[in-house]
Chain A
Amino acid sequence: MSTTSTSTAPTGAPPPSAVELDRRLYRKRQTTRSVLISVVSTAAVAVIAWAFVLNTPGWARVQQTFFDPAVAVEAWPRVFEGLLLNIRVLIVAAIGVLIVSILLAAARTLRGAIFFPLRALAAGYTDLFRGMPLIIVLYLVGFGLPGLGVFPRMPPEFWGTIALILVYSAYVSEVFRAGIEAVHPSQRLAARGLGLSHYQTLRLVILPQAVRKVTPALMNDFVAMQKDVGLISVLGAVDAVRAAQIETALTYNFTPYVLAGLLFVLLALPMIRLTDWYSARIRRREQVGSIV
């Protein structure tokens, strides 16, 4: 539903004046002009880019090695099956990240001397895992932890999921913390004034407001994680990237990589659109009645 309903007059209102009609005509002409200009300029850029790529000396060979439809059809079943593994890992990791990051953020808001170790641990955790490259965490967790010999044999995607949760929880907990700090202190006072405990205040009053504030940022982190699930292939898990690698090794053709890449984009698109839509909705709500 749009709130920019400047032209819909309530029934019974007098017809628009001549001045208003003239303004509307002008605005309409302006809109048409802008749309025309953008269509023409987009088309021009596309044509120039296309012509440039087609005229590069190696285009014919690149097309053959990267964009071969026959190879793509051949690779499809395996790469798609790999993508299903990525999606499974993504879902489990996203749930894990939500839980761990909220706990981390809550731990960092605790006050009082007894909680110092917990607070320090949470702070150290976010420092460590925000600093360390994901691929190194993947190696350490994927090859190091099983090497300890205390865990039962687990598939590589299990360890990959753990590594993803470790790294992304550090980022997402900071997002939650920012949201918690963005809730006005008077809300905490009001809640405590009613007799709610620290924990009840956090759970019933602060977190619900914090989550609303940071939802677009959280969705953005989810989009980032969507493609990083592809990195679990370095542990040997046969996901879309690994499947593409196998197909490439069989055919000496890179089209499977392009196919896997496109699948990841398609996977991310709904979430990207949803994030945009949600952010726009918040923006509209917050500036009701303003057009600048």
Chain B
Amino acid sequence: MTAPILRLTGVRKRFGDTEVLRGIDLDVHEHEVVALIGASGSGKSTLLRTINLLEQLDDGQIFLGELDISDPRISADAARGRIGVVFQHYNLFPHLSVLDNVTLASRRVHRIPRAEAERKALALLDGIGLGDKAKEFPDRLSGGQQQRAAIVRAIATDPELLLLDEVTSALDPELVGEVLELIRSLKASGTTIVMATHEMAFARDVADRVVFLDQGVIAEQGPPAQLFGSPREDRTRAFLARFAERTA
């Protein structure tokens, strides 16, 4: 197997007295889709934000390829530019058109000429059926359309890694499908993805590996069939049972 694209060793993060991440070791390989599951407060979002250096970690190391991006001597902005991130609440920039949202990082961080950035962005937007919304402002779009635009914004710069933080949690049930469909097509095109999710069926269907976080540590991980089908750990079983109860 090739060297991992992302490697976490002993990652710890504390907010005040609460230790949210208590030593996370995780390897993610190219083209792999990893689903993070776990209860609210288990550290899924914090882990993603730490990987993207939006939170400063308290211990451990994060490698993106060969580079230790947790080293304060490297440029955090450059590292973030190599990682795409999509948030639960889309966080599109309301004062910019959809097209400008998508091209902002290409133009300003990666210094790609506007014409070229826009050609690529329009192709991507066309691909998900939002080509005619390119000149609209985000508040004219439905939640599902906004979230798909946010995903396109994150992949417009060809990041080596895409982080998805519960991207369907804020959507109406009938809009979830279109966003999941887009993620499925990203996987098909070989994008490396780490996603925190509550969509167990989707995780089971799309993920190559499922990682169960419990109280800041990885309690169990494995292929979806094994983790959902025959979990080894009691707490995984308990979590899945609670979850099935709630969504039933």
Binds B, one of A121-129, A162-170, A189-197, A266-274: A189-197
Q: Is A64 an interface residue, CB under 8 A from the partner? A: no
- Chain B window 69-96, contacts with chain A (Cβ cutoff 8 Å), 1 for yes, 0 for no: 0000000011011110101010111110
Known: A193-B85, A195-B78, A195-B81; 4 extra A-B contacts, CB below 8 A, are A190-B93, A192-B77, A196-B104, A200-B109
Nearest CB of B to A146, in Å: 44
Say which residue of A196, A205, A208 sits within 8 Å of B109 (CB atoms). Answer: A196
Nearest CB of A to B7, in Å: 20
Query: With A189-B54, A204-B108 known to touch, is A196 a contact of B91 (CB < 8 Å)?
Result: no
Residues of B contacting A189 with CB < 8 Å? 49, 54, 87, 91
Q: Is A63 an interface residue, CB under 8 A from the partner? A: no
Q: Is A212 an interface residue, CB under 8 A from the partner? A: yes
A196 close to B108 (CB less than 8 A): yes
- What are the 9 A-B residue pairs with the smallest beta carbon separation, nearest first? A195-B81, A190-B91, A194-B105, A195-B109, A193-B85, A195-B80, A208-B95, A186-B91, A197-B77
7 contacts between A and B (CB under 8 A): A189-B49, A189-B87, A191-B93, A195-B110, A196-B77, A204-B104, A204-B108
- Chain A window 165-205, contacts with chain B (Cβ cutoff 8 Å), 1 for yes, 0 for no: 00000000000000000000011011111111100100011
Q: Is A65 an interface residue, CB under 8 A from the partner? A: no
Say which residue of A187, A192, A200, A209 sits within 8 Å of B108 (CB atoms). Answer: A200
Whole-angstrom CA separation of A205 from B109 in the bound complex: 14
Nearest CB of B to A215, in Å: 13
B163 closest partner in A (C-beta): A193
Residues of B contacting A192 with CB < 8 Å? 54, 77, 80
B91 close to A209 (CB less than 8 A): no
Chain A residues near B (Cβ < 8 Å): 186-187, 189-197, 200, 204-205, 208-209, 212
Say which residue of A195, A208, A209 sits within 8 Å of B105 (CB atoms). Answer: A195
Whole-angstrom CA separation of A186 from B81 in the bound complex: 17
Residues of A contacting B105 with CB < 8 Å? 194-196
Q: Is B192 an interface residue, CB under 8 A from the partner? A: no
Nearest CB of B to A238, in Å: 44
Nearest CB of B to A102, in Å: 16
Residues of A contacting B82 with CB < 8 Å? 195
Q: List B residues 35-63 near A (Cβ within 8 Å).
A: 49, 52, 54
A195 close to B95 (CB less than 8 A): no
Whole-angstrom CA separation of A187 from B87 in the bound complex: 11
Q: Is B22 an interface residue, CB under 8 A from the partner? A: no
Say which residue of B49, B94, B95, B104 sits within 8 Å of A194 (CB atoms). Answer: B104
Q: Is B153 an interface residue, CB under 8 A from the partner? A: yes
A197 closest partner in B (C-beta): B77
User: Which of B49, B54, B92 has the largest number of chain A CB atoms within 10 A?
Assistant: B54
- Chain B window 86-122, contacts with chain A (Cβ cutoff 8 Å), 1 for yes, 0 for no: 0101011111000000001100111000000000000
Nearest CB of B to A191, in Å: 7
Nearest CB of A to B167, in Å: 13
- Chain B window 189-217, contacts with chain A (Cβ cutoff 8 Å), 1 for yes, 0 for no: 00000000000000000000000000000
Nearest CB of A to B140, in Å: 12
A190 close to B87 (CB less than 8 A): yes
Whole-angstrom CA separation of A209 from B137 in the bound complex: 13
Residues of B contacting A190 with CB < 8 Å? 85, 87, 91-93
